[in-house]
Amino acid sequence: MDRLSAAGAQRPLVLFDLSRLIARVARPAPTGIDRVELAYAEFLLAQRDWEVRFVACAGDRIKALPDRLARALIAWVGRAWVGADDRGATAAGLARVAGFLGVAVPPISVQAPVVQPGEAEVPLAVRLAIDPIGRLLQNPVRLWAIGALEPVIAAAAAAGRPVVYVHVSHHNLQKAAPFRRLKASGPVKVAILVHDLIPIEYPEFSRPGDDVKHAARMATVAEVADLVIVNSADTGRRFTAHLARTGASGSPEIVVAHLGIPAPHALSAGFATGGPPFFAVVSTIEARKNHYLLLNLWRALDERLGTAAPKLVVVGRRGWEVENVIDLLERSPAAKAHVLEAGSLSDQALATVLPGARAVLMPSLVEGYGLPVVEALATGVPVIASDIPVHAEVGQGVAELVDPLDGPGWMRAILDYAAPESPRRAAQVARMAGYVTPTWTAHFEIARAALARLTGA
């Protein structure tokens, strides 16, 4: 065998798990973990020196997906989540925010999505309903019957090719059986990305039972993973402590790789000047995000300043066990006067809204990474965030950090940043010159090197 043929024979086989994207294909907007799985899928599609096969968890087995189906899923979800397939939703989101602030809706200038010959330019949900591949995506019975993975692994092993399975979403990890079977099917190395240990360490901020579920996930990771990628050094410390606390026998390599952010999707120069000062909070509404603090602060601002109080735009869908926050949003006169619950906004709409904010607020009590902090700083928008370890890590000394329990401290910061010529805000803007934006390129350089060590290729 010549050297070229030998190199081809040794080309690693990478099995990437798309289970989460399949489960969330109809979601109008992604969560942070959704974005990570999509980013990995797009990265792997671009690799030429690895053979990439897409897989999904079905019952007690990991099964192979047909390449055409997987690629269609990745393309459609990617287009939908940046708003390219639903300009009406993007325009409606901008109109809601502009109406609340009393400013004109900025002109929308979106690059038209690429439409293949014969493909109607229609929303994702409609295409899924009428397209044969779309119907297959929505029919798990047909989807899971597609293909056994064991012959694929056996063929690669027989050719002496390294095989690595990559999982980046926590999805299905609470069920150890599929992953044990995968490891038993051949010489398969396993790489898993761990996002956080919040349900275990802070069960009060999760749905009932999620602590047990997440503990089972981490037990699976400890048992089967050869490589664990973590999104922050703080997550790495917590994961290592959890392994020691539980007496886990596994000893995977642990690699820190900060998550990147999507490319900007600006529609225009943003909202016109002349509107009231406003702040934004971008996250799912859930207890650990500490919206309750902000809404009580805005009630106090209303009492102190009346109609002169700054505005607050709340971006994100409603989560779980936040009845007190919903009561304030729906029933508080102060919230009705000064707070807009904008719901989910497309990336393109958000990229137009945020540059006009006095700051993005992130008062979370605990985070695994803090993606809104990174996204805001990367686009030059000041950030006031809770003083927790991961925010100190990703904020790089640029973001303003305030204890999440210090209500008066948050009030002072908000009032200072709302001022037209705020020295405190200007100081953070000046600090941004030294901010190094975490990129997906940098993340994948670290991840790729770790995977190469795993495969020996």
Q: What is the pLDDT of residue 212?
A: 97
How far out from the chain centre does Cα 8 lie? 35
CA–CA gap between residue 36 and residue 182 (Å, rounded): 23
Per the listing, tokens 């304030």 go with 328
Span 271-293, average pLDDT: 90
User: Is 364 in contact with 290 (CB distance < 8 Å)?
Assistant: yes
Any idea of the CA torsion for 58, 59, 61, 64, to the nearest 10 degrees?
A: -10
Task: Give CA–CA dist 301/298, Å, rounded.
Answer: 5
Query: How distant is the alpha carbon of residue 104 from its chain centre?
Result: 30
Pick the most confident of 143-147, 248-252, 356-360. 356-360
**Per-residue pLDDT tens for 187-228?**
999 999 999 999 999 999 999 999 999 999 999 999 999 999
- Give the number of other Cβ atoms within 10 Å of residue 241's Cβ: 12
Q: Tokens in use for 93?
A: 């989101």
- 124-133, 194-203, 376-385: the lowest-pLDDT one: 124-133
pLDDT > 70? residue 135: no
Looking at residue 3, its pLDDT comes to 34
CATH T-level fold of 278-434? Rossmann fold (3.40.50)
Segment 217-265, tens digit of pLDDT: 999 999 999 999 999 999 999 999 999 999 987 789 999 999 998 766 5
Percentage of residues in the chain with pLDDT exceeding 70?
Answer: 84
CA distance 399 to 374: 9
Q: Per-domain residue ranges for the chain?
A: 3-86+123-260+441-455, 278-434
Give the pLDDT score at 85: 47
Compute the distance between CA of residue 373 and CA of residue 167 in angstroms, rounded to an integer: 25
Tell whether the model's pLDDT for residue 111 goes beyond 50: no
pLDDT reported for residue 107: 72
Q: What residues have CB less than 8 Å from 176, skipping those under 6 apart?
A: 216, 219, 220, 223, 224
Element of type H or E holding 423: helix 423-431
Range with the poorest average pLDDT among 75-84, 323-332, 389-398: 75-84
| Residue-level pLDDT at 87 | 64
How high is the pLDDT of residue 67? Answer: 85
Q: Are strands 61-64 and 51-58 parallel, antiparallel or unpaired?
A: antiparallel
pLDDT at residue 117 tops 60: no
Q: Would you tell me which CATH number, out of the four given (1.10.287, 3.30.160, 3.40.1350, 3.40.50), belongs to the domain 3-86+123-260+441-455?
A: 3.40.50
pLDDT of residue 320: 84
pLDDT for 261 equals 85
Block residue for tokens 């009393």: 102
pLDDT (mean) for 101-107: 84
According to the model, what pLDDT value does residue 456 have?
Answer: 79
Q: How far is 192 from 124, CA to CA, in rounded Å?
A: 30
Q: What was the pLDDT predicted at 115?
A: 38
Helix (H) or strand (E) holding 342: strand 339-343
